[in-house]
Chains A and B, each alone.
Chain A
Amino acid sequence: MMNNGFWSMGGYGRYVWPCFAFAFLVLGWNLWSARRHLDAARLRARRELQMAGIDP
């Protein structure tokens, strides 16, 4: 299956592969930004507790 026919997708490869590539980009961005959002919230909460004199 892993031959030129598979990659060319019957001549539609230039439409099919960017579709899947962009999908993985969106999945990757979602995971990265969600982790970043949570880490930033944890850091912010920790800093505010330290500023209030409470060691978390």
Chain B
Amino acid sequence: MKLSINGREYDVGADAETPLLYVLRDELALNGAKFGCGLGQCGACTVMVDGEAVFSCVTPLLLLEGKKITTVEGLGTVDNPGPMQSAFIEEQAAQCGYCIAGVMMRAQALLQKNPDASDADIRSTLQPNLCRCGTHMRILRAVRRAADMMKSKQAASAADGSVR
């Protein structure tokens, strides 16, 4: 079946009942989403589907036809990181880093829908994601920083646009 991931079409051979997580990692070598529990309890597998955060470990392929999937790889690269990724690098918001990609995707979904999210919004949105190393404070700062970067980027491109 065909899946749309990070703007590209992929032909995947797995059964329709396979959870998306295994397809991302094993067939497509997209390492961002992680296996943490397979039960929808920890958020390490979080990706976006049509802009909403979703546990890829409990989402079978058969529910994803025609939907747009975004993983952390779709937010930028090492050479050209997106605002969320830059923010996490600048804040050094990781210890082991295993939870971070999932956290970033949930935060990304929030900020795309609500660019003016408050600190309390960010905190409550991240509730489904676990971090065992205790990097929470930096994660919150990084998401706040990403929000500010995304807003100023918006403002900058809006300013450019207004010339038209």
Task: Tell me if chain B binds chain A.
Answer: no
The interface of chain B, by Cβ under 8 A from chain A, is: none
